Structure 1
Amino acid sequence: MAGTTTKTVHDIFQSMEYGPAATSSTATARAWLDSHSCSLGLFIAGQFVRPLDRQTRSVVDSKGALVCSTVCALQADILQCASSAVKGFEAWSGLSCYQRSKVLLRLASTLGQHGQSVAELCDLCGASCSSSSLVRLLQYYSGSAQLRDALVANWTPLGVVLVVVSDDCTFHSLMLKVLPALAMGNSVMVVPGQSTAPPALLLAQLFMAAGLPAGALNVLTGGDMSLAADVAQNSSIAYVTYSGNKQDAVKLCKATAGMGVPVSVSPNIGATCPIIIFESADINSAVDDVLETAFKKKKEAHWVLCVQESVLDSVMARLRLRMAGLKCVSLPDDGVRVLVETAVQDAQNKGATLVQSCAVPSSTQYPPTVLCGAAPSSPCVVMPSPGPLLPLVTFRSNTEAVTLGNHSPHGQAACIWTEDLTLALETYKSLSVGSVWVNSHPLSDPCLPVSGHKDSGTCTDGGQEGLYQFLRPSSSSVLPRASPVALDYAKFGTDPPPVIIPDQTAGTLKSYTHFVAGKACKSESGASVVVRPQGGGDVLGYCPDGGQKDVRNAVEAAIKVQPGWMKKSPPARAQHILSLAKGLEGKRQVLAATICGQTGLPMEEAHMEVELSIARLSDWAAYCDKVHGGTLPVPQAGTGLSIPEALGVVGVVLPDEHLLLSTVTLLGAALASGNAVVMVPSPEYPLPALAIIQVLLSSDLPAGLVNIITGRRDQLTKALANHSVIKAIWYWGNSEGCQYLQHTCTSPLKTLRLFCQTDKDGNHRGRDWTRPSVLEEFWRNAVQWKSVWIPTA
């Protein structure tokens, strides 16, 4: 036919141009919105609720056109929703695992009929999510619901779970929180972002049609993150989990500090992630997937392209050829365009060259741009601006590639391109990220656990590992909620040390020491605190009053030795822990006498605690090489792996009960999983923990792996919270300390396990340290997960 251009297969493979994009329609989604007059209400107790006299919020599409409006919930709506969620939890958790699984499977079937509506609505609102990915989520978590009692025996649902996402979060990330919470038997209250609100309301409606009990899933829409904090204040909420950007995560953590509710965050929007291309890579495939990842998908992460110098010219040539067919990307507004142009200009001033798909138009669109030769310290690499920009940095050696990959403060994900399997395995082990894709673009599947390493999260989503955040051990009790106290965060932990007046007996009393870097040492301040037996009485001795400098010295010692300890084989770590248990066995009489003298326990009970402590360390030694990750049943052709890794340096503020048993339980959990530890003994009863120093001095543990700092709890808690290297803090103390940690440990994010030892009436809250289930509980607190995807076809 005249005027047509016929291309051969050879021509197409030479240019590798993209075919025409499929036309999209939003007719089905528009019809659903029209049925609600484009004005969506709240979803409470299984039905839409449209309260009067409420402010509304507009939802717009990518071109700024109005899609619909949503209601901004008030306190009365929160109370109604919370009451509904409590009733929904009673009905939903009362069903059998098989019955809950059937509901999720029915929803998957319902999506087969109405999946087009959901997909179109997601596209229309800018929260792109395919119906096939939702069906896969439902299929996976229906199986988890069916096997809950078999897979996670002796664990029980939390109750009412609050799921919060930011305005820029994807609908898939929202459902990755909602579905496992439901599968485990919890009821869920959702506070969606602006883009995810309409599809969340539609899916809630479909859930009701599938047979979900009324109140098991509720949706509250609002204006900003303050709504989530207001909902979290309700005493019915047992757990809060968040996905989205880091800024809103910090706001939520600070706003909920002191409420007595656990909060976990997955700041999966805006992280900086590396794509590493080695000289052994298939360059054509690598470049194709780079463009797909960096420019064609919804940009949740900022990608940095790291290319080995020996193949830089080949990569650049292929980039120029493949980028010629890419269209400009629409920017949200003129302000974003200014940020993009400033970043490009700054990169050029520092020596970068541009590779663009076309000339820069004058509108709010911008062409896909590669900033070749950007310096690793350049702002466009360290803190990338929004827009279609891809910084490209080069490296020479494999070690330098890993250094560049770990350059970012985020630890979300990485892509590795190489045909050398040994190199791929060595590289993924060395990268401090939660997800690694080898010779592939980012793959999302619910069976892959996703843990945020470094500053990219405090929980695990996906896989069997992600189910535990929505469960608690059956033997543990539900702690009552608390109310925030008026706390001056700047003055917390700054009280002056107690005054000690010397007397004639001071020279005969024992002076204890810290244990730092494998040595006994005094406090840097030179101050001491008095140690007395339980209930008061004669002075037993003096302990160093540790402070910020002591904690800094301990962390410096720990960070030097922890990487080597983590790389030791599990059997080698087990032998070290067994030798520590033998050391305790040799000091059993001294330890029992110390417990008896400090706490007033009968000698028989003190001996029993020592024996339990020796057995507990032996349990941890056996745990070292018994619990591992494994292969994952990914539906695509390839191999998926889940691997538990150490957190790093863990700060532990020890409880005031079961002084020796609790100490070795927490110490063993940290060491068995590859962590180093800085421990703060109970300020009231420090002697049993200090007695372990004599065992540590004669043990074969690497110097600096275990550090013990005594002193006032608040002062040392503040020092741990403000140290950037410490990844996790396990805290037993008062409500003020819990509130301070939740408010402070946000930059960088720290994984917190907080246990308030007294309730609002001053009554002591204890726990049973003798039960074997604490092994599973604290081991899961001591690891983070890495998933690896290696395709085979």
Structure 2
Amino acid sequence: GSSFCFLIFFCLLLQAWLEQRSRSLGFFIDGKFVCPVERQRCDLTDSKGAAVCSTACAEDEDVSQCCSSALDGLTAMCSLTCDQRAKVLLRLASVLGQHGQCVSELCGLCGVSTSPSVLVRMLQFYSSWAQLRDTLIPGWAPIGVVAVISSDDCSLCSLMLKVFPALAMGNPVVVIPGQSCAPPTLLLAQLFTASGLPAGALNVLTGNAVTLGAKVAQNPSIQYVAYTGNKQDGVMLCKATAGMGVPVSVTPCVGATCPFIIFDSADIDSAVDEVMEAAFRKKREVMTWVNCNCESVVDSVVARLKMRVAGKECVALRSEAERGLVDAAVQEAQQQGATLIQSCTPPSSGALYPPTVLCGAAAASSCVVSPSAGPLLPLITFRGNTEAVTLGNHSPHGQAASIWTEELTLALETANSLSVGSVWVNSHSVFDPCLPASGHKDSGTCTDGGQEGLYQFLRPSSCSSVIVHSTPASLDYAKFGESVASPIIPNESGSAPQFYLQFVGGKPCKAVSGRSVPVLTPGGESVLAYVPDGGRKDVRNAVEAAIKVQPGWMKKSPTARAQSLYALAKALEAKRRDIVVSLSSHAGLSVDEAENEVELSVNRLTVWAAYCDKVRGGSLPMPRSGSALSFPEALGVVGVVLPEKNPILSMVTLLGAAVATGNAVILVPNQENPLPVLAFIQVLQASDLPAGLVNVITGSRDQLTAALANHNVIKAIWYWGGAEGCQYLQYTCNSPLKTLRLCSDKNKPSQYWTRSLPVLLEDLWRSGVQWKSVWIPTA
């Protein structure tokens, strides 16, 4: 009775909050609600079609006012001590604990998935990091004003997983929620301010997420854009903001396909109970599941699924159009040989569909690779552990996986082999803010959760605090990199120019095209040398060589990788004279400057060797019984377009960061002066690095950048070059998603490379890894 009375009370409180604003919500700017007149409005209805409220669509003047408020909020946040920020978040956790039911009711009206207890846990976790930021993360500072954007189908918890850590690290935030998330986000913003958060530290604008997000990103005050939601909107946002100079991270937390793997050593009853709960829960779920079963237990699994599906009610879909997609997926699966297990016959019309298991679905079927939204559970089989991992990695997504087995060794080996950010053993959908997870493959370009998820909202204190915004150029993306340089007739006087070779698969070689391009003297009056004119096919060959060796290199022990880097430093020392001559002859350095650069390069390689076995993951303090582990993994193949300044030192700095973390590398030397890097090939040949781990391709920077961007295997691109190249990469590297580190060569002085500050090297190290968390319950 008392619970029912409390529920009625919170419903009345929520209705009063909506009526106080005439069910017409505006924006939250500078610590108060703002409701400008003559704004286009969007109506929000509940699941029964009844009107809940309307939200305003922000215009340019609202964006300007909001960003100005956020700048004032930055000043206010910087004036707070770590202790003061922590107390604000703790007060909000207490307030949210009191009003959690009201927030939950509002989310229910808007059709948004949320859990107030999870929000409270997140606030408690990030309040402690706000308290300890300067103690445990020294040398890092807030990045500045952060824009957090979500799609309409994003849950409130996923949105706040971006907002809370940004605030905890001292950044003001401009939130652009999806339409369904807008009312509860506005309510939370009011609770934040009532808890003592400075005015301007949290601002909320509503409207079309992609269009409005691009307008906000264009404002000079914005230093970082974090997107969470479905991938389609994330891709559109990346394209809309390309060329603005603002880094954008994408976390596609909606619609990911995750494997639910049942081995023959599993507790079958428990596994079937949990796969039913995961696949057919009534609340909107961000993940879809594919059930992978060992052949020896598939009959038992199917028999139990038939028992548990029987009598299940139909699940409500978002619309009849979604019902059509589900029907089409079921028909396709049946045509490919799948049989159905359904709780009842599907209704002839309407947005309802019964829980359906697609037994014997083909691994290549669209219902397995990218299932449509709806109560569908594809069921496929495997013979052994290796095939189970292959099926688990078959999806283009890499968000999470659930493994069911009583054998701990098998569970850990499988977890290590799956290319996903979160692995749950004998459990599923375990979320906690202390668990760091990166989006593997097509599931994101940043890390959320844990200490590792804080770094996206921080910058090294020694780096510039202001990102230079730019105006996007008018680019023909389809033709980028296709321009051909005018031929140069060499000067007949003097000695004949030398011909250099590039380095692919451990061997010096010519370009596949057979062409060469000239390298001119600094004054441009004569040809200094000829280098191969590499292109798309050379990049393809380099990637094929890299993917053959990278998995083995990643599995090497950190100590073994360290010894190889020490050997590379020793080989550079042995070739010191040749590299010094190349630097002084081709890079315009004096002999003393060249000697100093080589010395710094040798030292930098030894530093990266020392890093190999020093920075690791570990056990995490979960607030429940069990063991939580986190560890960094290599990205895979990394493309690096090298800077012009300090050609050898910058190259070994970036090369060492990538290789030390277990990646293979494709290096593209600076187009104007590639000769020092080509001279370094003799150092690579004298080292014991596996053939194909490091590849060097020369030619047109734009052409090779386009080739790197369009190769699906390359996971990350580190680019030092022009603004147009940065814009092209931001626009192009989204199918699949690639992690980008973009820098204008002109914005990095020589001191950036010559300084050996630990925080700068740590920043590069973190660019070369992605994080995985593994949860193993004990009760």
Output the CA distance in 2 between the equivalents of 1:505 and 1:447.
68
Q: TM-score, normalised by structure 2?
A: 0.97
- State the partner residue of 2:62: 77
Is 2:112 the partner of 1:124? no
Question: In the alignment, which of 609, 624, 634 is matched to residue 597 of structure 2?
Answer: 609
- Of the three residues 448, 472, 477, the one matched with 1:484 is 472
Equivalent of 2:234 in 217, 241, 249 = 249
From 226, 245, 250, the equivalent of 1:260 is 245
Matched, 1:463 2:450: yes
Aligned partner of 1:183 in structure 2 is: 168
Q: After the TM superposition, which residues 274-289 of structure 1 pair with which residues of structure 2 at under 5 Å, given as runs?
A: 274-289=259-274
Q: 1:555 aligns with which of 543, 559, 563?
A: 543
Map 1:133-532 onto structure 2 (within 5 A). 133-296=118-281, 297-362=283-348, 363-477=350-464, 478-502=466-490, 504=492, 508-532=496-520
SS at match of 1:483: coil
Amino acid at match of 2:74: F
Counterpart amino acid of residue 725 in structure 2: G
Give the conservation status (yes or no) of the 8 Å contact 1:163–1:189: yes
SS for the counterpart of 1:147 is helix
Q: What is the CA distance between 1:706 and its match in structure 2?
A: 0.2
Deviation of the 1:196 alpha carbon: 0.8
Aligned pairs for 1:554-633 (under 5 A) are: 554-633=542-621
**Mapped contact 1:523–1:546 kept (Cα < 8 A):** yes
The CA deviation at 1:66 is 1.6
The structure-2 alpha-carbon separation of the partners of 1:221 and 1:766, relative to structure 1 and needing over 3 Å to count, comes to: farther
Alignment-mate amino acid for residue 373 of structure 2: P
For 1:86, give the aligned amino acid: L
Question: Does the 8 Å CA contact 1:757/1:765 hold for their aligned counterparts?
Answer: no
Distance 2:103 2:490 in 1: 75
1:391-430 Cα distance to aligned partner (Å, 9 max, x none): 0001111111111000001111100000011110110011
Secondary structure (helix, strand or coil) at the match of 1:496 reads coil
One-letter code of the match for 1:511? Answer: F
Letter in 2 for 1:44: I
- Whether contact under 8 Å (2:600, 2:754) holds in the other structure is no
Partner of 1:744: 732
Preserved contact between residue 425 and residue 774 of structure 2 (Cα < 8 Å): yes
Q: Using a 3 Å threshold, how does the CA distance of structure 1 residues 506 and 269 change in structure 2: closer, same or farther? A: farther
- 1:698 equivalent to 2:686? Answer yes
1:698 positional shift: 1.8
Contact 2:218 / 2:469 at 8 angstroms: preserved in 1? no
CA distance in 2, matches of 1:92, 1:175: 18
SS of match in other structure, 1:83: helix
Q: Is the 8 A contact 2:718 2:740 kept in 1?
A: yes
> What secondary structure does 2:527 align onto?
coil
Alpha-carbon shift at residue 694 of structure 1 (Å): 0.4
C-alpha distance in 1 between matches for 2:320 and 2:628: 42
Shift of 1:311: 0.8
8 Å contact kept, 2:638–2:663: yes
Gaps of at least 5 residues in structure 2 are: 1-5
Mark the CA change 1:144 to 1:476 in structure 2 (over 3 Å): closer, same or farther.
same
**Does the alignment pair 1:653 with 2:641?**
yes
TM-score (norm 1): 0.95
Identity value in percent: 66
- 1:733, 1:756 within 8 Å by CA — same for their partners in 2? yes
The runs of at least 4 consecutive aligned structure 1 residues that moved more than 6 Å come to 22-25, 763-766
> Offset at 1:502?
4.7
1:513-564 CA-to-partner distances (Å, cap 9, x unmatched) read 1000000001112222222343445533111111111111111111111111
Kindly indicate whether the alpha-carbon contact (under 8 Å) linking 2:250 and 2:445 is maintained by their aligned counterparts in 1.
yes
Q: Distance in 2 between matches of 1:39 and 1:70?
A: 6
Q: Distance in 1 between matches of 2:16 and 2:410?
A: 53
1:546 and 1:335 map into 2 onto residues whose CA distance is 48
TM superposition shift of 1:245: 0.5
Aligned 8 A contact 1:523 1:545 in 2: yes
SS across alignment from 2:284? coil
CA distance in 1, matches of 2:623, 2:525: 67
CA contact (8 A) 1:118 1:199 kept: yes
| 8 A Cα contact 1:155 1:474, kept in partner | yes
Deviates more, 1:763-772 or 1:152-161: 763-772
Greater displacement, 520-529 / 321-330 = 321-330
Deviation at 1:507, TM superposition (A): 6.7
Taking the aligned partners of 1:605 and 1:346, their CA distance within structure 2 comes to: 67
Question: Which residue of structure 2 lines up, in the alignment, with residue 12 of structure 1?
Answer: none
Q: Which SS does the other structure have where 1:132 is aligned?
A: helix
Unpaired segments ≥5 residues, structure 1 = 1-21
Q: Would the aligned equivalents of 2:149 and 2:209 in 1 still touch at CA under 8 Å?
A: no
Tell me which amino acid in the other structure corresponds to 2:36.
P
- Whether the 8 Å contact between 1:533 and 1:600 is mirrored in structure 2 is no
Whichever residue aligns with residue 560 of structure 2, its letter is A
Instruction: Look up the match of 1:104.
Output: 89
- Per-residue deviation at 1:65? 2.1
**Inter-partner Cα distance in structure 1 for 2:454 and 2:237:** 22
For residue 673 of structure 2, what is the aligned residue in structure 1?
685
> What secondary structure, in the 3-state scheme, does the structure 2 residue paired with 1:144 have?
helix
Moved more, 489-498 or 534-543: 534-543
Change (3 A) 1:23 1:94: closer
Tell me how far 1:771 sits from its aligned partner: 2.6
Paired residues in the alignment total 769
Counterpart-to-counterpart distance in 2, 1:627 and 1:752: 22
- 1:11 matched to which residue of 2? none
Distance (whole Å) between structure 1 residues aligned to residue 703 and residue 32 of structure 2: 51
SS at match of 1:498: coil
Equivalent residue letter for 2:760: V
Q: Deviations over 1:748-790 (max 9, x none)?
A: 110000001247xxx9897344232322011000000011100
Rounded to whole Å, the distance in 1 between the matches of 2:33 and 2:751 is 43
